[in-house]
Structure 1
């Protein structure tokens, strides 16, 4: 790293060196450890910041801005200890949770416009929730039908899992729309834990759906009509699982620093 060090104190290459052995982060142009709030920045913190920022800010085509990394380090990194008051930290957590969740809601509902705070966005998400509830009712009716006919237990459970999956998605979206209701009275940490819980349940349900589908196909215990219905919803389930998996990682990162 010495060969790249600049002779000018004002020179900045906008490059960092992550020392994996020493565990710290260095400024390449100045050949010094990067320090914020009198604390050395760890390489692992930069890794976490990169993962978090690239997951939450998707409008930069892969380019991560230094301001975004700095904001993460000052609010969620180890250097934030003693820098933010509890109220300031909670305000930042609320901001992160809202931004991440609103983007997630837009992706789930297929909302393509850039504005997330207008009436058009809210109406779009509410219409999507209505469609989810209609689909959930269809799965519930099929579950009841299978139980009345003493159908295959695994198949009945699989159908009910799909009903629960659509329910969780609609609950999540409704919670997102409620984030702006009485913001002064909202519990940001409680909302964060609720969102994490929903994400984890979606992932667990998706795993169970995968296992039960495999079992039923191997036993040839699914009728052609139900197979068509499952194929129709399988791709959406995979996309939903993927999105909630990413959400769980991001919110889990926020939660870990909020509880510390």
Structure 2
């Protein structure tokens, strides 16, 4: 279940449903879609349909057996420009537009859902010009990368939070908002580099020195990722944009690989035994929680942008 609908439009004071290219004035009622979570299939969901034909909950759900998206309040299959909206495209949009876990009910901007499905969905690939796609992809990468930075700054014990997702939605200066995060990434690189030197001097086991080196490299790669997204903002050619996205994907792939290696090592018996008697490793131990979020967010980037 998803709060938000690509067919829900607001024009001034009017709220409209434009499903299947029709225009229906509606009365929107804010309902948390999680209350419908006990329904297991499309037939069961019919119990939630509104008795009035113009009532809209602005909430939708994916019916996996037919891979279609349905309106909860009216039971209609969602259609845009004469085509059914595939459930796969909607789930891709949710993954890319939200930093929440994929299993959580996401509160997604309806207009963002609409633009994403048209821009990156296979079904509607021919409905937007390359210029329109370029602008929308840049917008998505901007917003999603900022949300990742916010989420990571909130979870990393070595960082100060840089802001909130609400501030991003309200509109912020990209580089101004990100500057604090980039500075903290540089500080992390320095911290892990110095710690590595200490362990080398102490003749620590090679595996712990390698682990600290991976943590330094992770901070370096994340800094590289944001540097690449900053460059993306100045690209207006679609083909050049795709090439730049390939570099971003490569960086994201490296981040995922090294993050997995770090997570695996800090859960090993040898690390747990060493960390129990070494306070210098406490910060590294705290990374376990953040590593799961890193895997989720950068995994989403890989899954979505590889479709371009």
TM-score grouping bracket, smaller chain normalisation: 0.7 to 0.9
Asked whether the 8 Å contact 1:25–1:33 carries over to 2, the reply is: yes
Q: Cα distance, 1:251 vs. partner?
A: 1.6
Within-5 A mapping of 1:1-260: 4=49, 8=53, 12=56, 14-16=58-60, 18-27=62-71, 32-55=76-99, 62-109=106-153, 110-112=161-163, 114=167, 116-117=172-173, 120-142=176-198, 144-145=200-201, 149=203, 151-180=204-233, 182-184=234-236, 187-213=240-266, 214-217=268-271, 224=277, 227-235=278-286, 237-258=287-308
The 2-side partners of 1:70 and 1:87 are apart by 17
- Three-state SS of the structure 2 residue aligned to 1:55 is coil
TM-score by length of 1: 0.73
The 2-side partners of 1:16 and 1:185 are apart by 35
Q: Cα distance, 1:239 vs. partner?
A: 4.5
Query: Which one has the bigger strand percentage?
Result: 2
CA separation of 1:77 and 1:223: change in aligned 2, threshold 3 A: closer
The 2-side partners of 1:17 and 1:185 are apart by 35
Aligned residue pairs total 245
CA separation of 1:126 and 1:76: change in aligned 2, threshold 3 A: closer
TM-score by length of 2: 0.64
The 1-side partners of 2:257 and 2:245 are apart by 19
**Structure 2, unpaired ranges of 5+:** 1-42, 154-160
Q: Cα distance, 1:12 vs. partner?
A: 4.6
The 1-side partners of 2:83 and 2:237 are apart by 34
Alignment RMSD:
3.5
**Structure 1, unpaired ranges of 5+:** none
The 1-side partners of 2:98 and 2:177 are apart by 23
CA separation of 1:116 and 1:137: change in aligned 2, threshold 3 A: farther
